[in-house]
Structure 1
Amino acid sequence: MLQARDERTLLRCGTAGAVLFVAVFLVLGSVKSGYDPLRHPVSSLAIGSLGWAQAVSFCISGVLVTSSAFGMRSVLLRLGGDWWIPGLIIAVGVGLIGAGFFTTDPINGYPPGEMGGTTATGVLHQFFSAGVFLGFPAASSLLARLFWSTRHPWWAACCLLTAVVFGTGFALAALGFAGLPDFQPYAGLYQRIALCVGFGWLLMLSQFLRSARFSRAFNVRVRTA
């Protein structure tokens, strides 16, 4: 079992990873030539000029998110949780790292003038990205159940809402990137909503699990059980 100081340090990694990833894709999306953040996916920021910055963000954020999962495991075990939830957060982190190493193929009109195609690198990028887009809603759904069973109803509702909004945003984005005309113009926006919700949830969760308020609530539950 980790010491309290080690838990807090690892949980801070979750906060840092969430802030870094969202900040980088928001900034790059606003300055990259020919790139439309409403239409194009975050992964496309790794193509062309300044692409290295997005790739590095994927990798560093992935390492930080993966590290935070070990702090979560130590805390959640005391709530009666198991390896499933931190394991899914690890899947998110590893997915980010893999997405950083393997660049996506052109999609939805970016880069301009390049036809979409399928390469081995692009397939690997999609494979690792699945860890992010499946890991977030699965982890938040399981955590909603755990928080409800331990009488943290506000957090249970927050986790459930995260799963629903993230899953909906991801589904709409996928329809747009698949070329459906009703969804294509705003596919990038739908994806960004999903990612901001997912990483916002991770940030809030990391902050809460290392807070004194959580410790007091947990201690009360133990003494009255």
Structure 2
Amino acid sequence: MTTENAIGSAPGTGANQAFNRPAAVTRSLLGYGPLAGACYLASGLAQALTRDGFDLRRHDLSLLANGPLGWIHILTLMLTGLMTVASAIGVFRALPRGRATTWAASLLAAYGLALVAAGVFVADPMNGFPVGTPDGPPTEVTPHGVLHIAAGGVGFAALVAAAFVLARFFARTSRRGWAWASLWVGLVVLAGFLGVATGSASSLAVLGLWIGVVTGWGWIAAVCIHLYRRTPHPRQPSDPAA
């Protein structure tokens, strides 16, 4: 067996098997979309259920970045943010070139970068977490806390805008199911963020934020899987007559 056959061809594929490297790269990048959401939610829930004093009915996941184990959530935010940026590049490569594609990919990348920023700038302790923190709003508003809120606002706004941009794109390309789904996702994420942006720490507001976060990650995963399936398989049979 030659080196070319050993490396360039999968077992049993034969010589008439071509390798589409751009398609392989695009599909690999799109794979980070579902992975980012799964990692964020799995890590967040695992911490929320095991960290002393954390209450899913009262606390949003951002508070997990505080305390001795806060580095876990900080790392989660940074890694999932970078994975989201990678998936945004995949979306740009998978969709037809145009203004909508540029905007959608850029907004998704902005959401990913906002997650990274949210990990760098930790939220101020509040509402009794970590244990020993007074109940209610932060006793001291720090620059890091303000920048964390700003990163969250930019991130959610970018995600909502990306959903609306793709809703319009799907409508123009006669994919009405995707168009309506993207529109509703944008509205749900927007409502979830506005609920806590008012400063409310009620269980209803926290639940709304959870619904918005899960919906947003689910939509990113669904879009990436949809585009992944529409991207040609990297290994395409070459023309035998070529």
Q: TM-score range by the shorter chain?
A: 0.7 to 0.9
- The CA deviation string for residues 122-143 of structure 1, in whole angstroms up to 9 with x for no partner, is 1121222223211111100110
Deviation at 1:78, TM superposition (A): 4.5
Aligned pair partner of 1:124 in 147, 155, 169:
147
What is the TM-score normalised by the length of structure 1?
0.86
Residue 188 (structure 1) aligned with residue 206 (structure 2): yes
Partner of 2:166: 143
CA gap 1:130/1:80 in 2 versus in 1, 3 angstroms: closer
Partner of 2:225: 207
- The CA deviation string for residues 45-100 of structure 1, in whole angstroms up to 9 with x for no partner, is 11114211111100000110001111111222347733111111011110011111
Residue 156 (structure 1) aligned with residue 156 (structure 2): no
Taking the aligned partners of 2:100 and 2:109, their CA distance within structure 1 comes to: 15
Q: Which structure has more helix as a fraction of its residues?
A: 1
- RMSD over aligned Cα, in angstroms? 1.8
Partner of 1:64: 83
Partner of 2:27: 8
Taking the aligned partners of 2:95 and 2:154, their CA distance within structure 1 comes to: 21
Aligned pair partner of 1:76 in 66, 85, 95:
95
CA gap 1:56/1:29 in 2 versus in 1, 3 angstroms: same
Deviation at 1:204, TM superposition (A): 0.6
- The CA deviation string for residues 147-181 of structure 1, in whole angstroms up to 9 with x for no partner, is 00001111001101101111111112223xx14xx
CA gap 1:88/1:80 in 2 versus in 1, 3 angstroms: closer
Taking the aligned partners of 1:159 and 1:148, their CA distance within structure 2 comes to: 10
Which of 1 and 2 has higher RCO (CA within 8 Å, sep 6+)? 2
Taking the aligned partners of 1:126 and 1:114, their CA distance within structure 2 comes to: 19
Partner of 1:198: 216
Deviation at 1:44, TM superposition (A): 0.1
Deviation at 1:38, TM superposition (A): 1.3
CA gap 1:199/1:192 in 2 versus in 1, 3 angstroms: same
Larger of the two Rg values belongs to structure: 2
What is the TM-score normalised by the length of structure 2?
0.80
CA gap 1:21/1:59 in 2 versus in 1, 3 angstroms: same
- State whether residues 117 and 148 of structure 2, in contact with CA within 8 Å, keep that contact through their aligned partners in structure 1: yes
Instruction: Give 1:58's aligned amino acid.
Output: L
Partner of 1:223: none
User: Does the residue aligned with 1:81 lie in a helix, a strand or coil?
Assistant: helix
Aligned pair partner of 1:24 in 24, 37, 43:
43
Taking the aligned partners of 2:63 and 2:159, their CA distance within structure 1 comes to: 21
My pick for the range that moved more, 202-211 or 126-135, is: 126-135
Instruction: Give 1:185's aligned amino acid.
Output: S
Instruction: Give 2:80's aligned amino acid.
Output: S
- The CA deviation string for residues 22-52 of structure 1, in whole angstroms up to 9 with x for no partner, is 1111111111111111111110011114211
Deviation at 1:200, TM superposition (A): 0.6
Structure 1: stretches of 5+ with no match in the other structure: 216-225
Deviation at 1:7, TM superposition (A): 0.7
Partner of 2:9: none
